[in-house]
Amino acid sequence: MREHLDRVERHNADALERACEMLLGPVTSGGLVYAGGSGHSLALVLEGFFRAGGLACVHPLYTPEISPLHGAWPATEAERRSGVAAPVMEAAAPRPGDIVVIFSNSGANPYPVELATTARSYGLPVIAFVSGPSMAAAPARAAVKLGEVADLVIDTLVPPGDVSYPEAAPRTAALSSLACVYLWNLLLTRMADRADLPLWVSANVPGGDERNIELLERYSVRIPALRRSAAG
């Protein structure tokens, strides 16, 4: 697993620089970063949303039916069903100057593909975190695959099937979440070296609540999940 992380960092050096450039404009000019995924890729959406050190301008794209926590097999069926993603993207009310990041291991199911195509229909650029090898091997369940409609692909290089151990006959130690979290944080560090970012602070350090309240007030106007009450 350590070797894989070193490999994906080297492989994506240029892509991470391009992603940094693509994200800095929206982030520093008051735009939003829409983060989407389904199934276990929702773990990456949560990784990017409302956590210490993370961007406060992240808008999670979510509907309960694509989460395994609301039904494991129904979630699998939902991400394979056309027509689920477009209403999610539309409800988020994107604007010019925003950007979309989509996480998907195979990039073959309609949900991530249609998130991307709907985002593109709004004129928004799309960055995809997806495995090239998995995408090539996966059966196409949409007209195209995610890598074909994204403006930029960051390749996690995860082998088909996701698992990595034991090497001779892999059956455990999935790599997709680990690789995406690592690459996402590499991207954040590049951005932080170039600009003053709206970053959440841990609520368990002095001044954390005060800083976070200011960010909540700034971004909750457009991000419902940041509102401090249901009525807010």
Give the number of other Cβ atoms within 10 Å of residue 111's Cβ: 32
Give the sheet arrangement for strand 126-130, strand by strand: 58-61, 33-36, 99-103, 126-130, 152-155
What is the C-alpha to C-alpha distance for residues 187 and 44, in angstroms, rounded to an integer?
14
pLDDT of residue 78: 94
Cβ pair 216, 228 in contact under 8 A: yes
Short-list 191, 167, 187, CA closest to 179: 187
**Would you say residue 232 lies in a domain?**
no
**Would you say residue 229 lies in a domain?**
no
Q: How many domains does the chain have?
A: 1
Which 3-state string (H, E, C) describes 83-138? Answer: CCHHHHHHHCCCCCCCEEEEECCCCCCHHHHHHHHHHHHCCCCEEEEECHHHHHHC
Cβ pair 160, 137 in contact under 8 A: yes
User: Cα-flanking dihedrals φ and ψ of residue 93, to 5°?
Assistant: 55, 60
For residue 172, what is the domain's CATH number? 3.40.50.10490
**Would you say residue 156 lies in a domain?**
yes
Which residue has tokens 């200011």?
214
What is the C-alpha to C-alpha distance for residues 199 and 176, in angstroms, rounded to an integer?
25
Per-position pLDDT tens, the chain of length 232: 999 999 999 999 999 999 999 999 999 999 999 999 999 999 999 999 999 999 999 999 999 999 999 999 999 999 999 999 999 999 999 999 999 999 999 999 999 999 999 999 999 999 999 999 999 999 989 989 999 999 999 999 999 999 999 999 999 999 999 999 999 999 999 999 999 999 999 999 999 999 999 999 999 999 999 997 754 4
Short-list 110, 99, 153, 151, CA closest to 131: 153
**Would you say residue 62 lies in a domain?**
yes
**Would you say residue 231 lies in a domain?**
no
pLDDT of residue 169: 95
pLDDT of residue 165: 94
User: Cα-flanking dihedrals φ and ψ of residue 137, to 5°?
Assistant: -90, -25
pLDDT of residue 90: 96
**Would you say residue 83 lies in a domain?**
yes
pLDDT of residue 228: 78
Q: Which domain holds residue 47?
A: 1-222
pLDDT of residue 232: 42
pLDDT of residue 171: 96
Tell me the angle at which helices 72-79 and 110-121 cross, rounded to the nearest 10 degrees.
50
**Would you say residue 100 lies in a domain?**
yes
Q: Copy the structure tokens of residue 167.
A: 């090497």
**Would you say residue 148 lies in a domain?**
yes
pLDDT of residue 79: 96
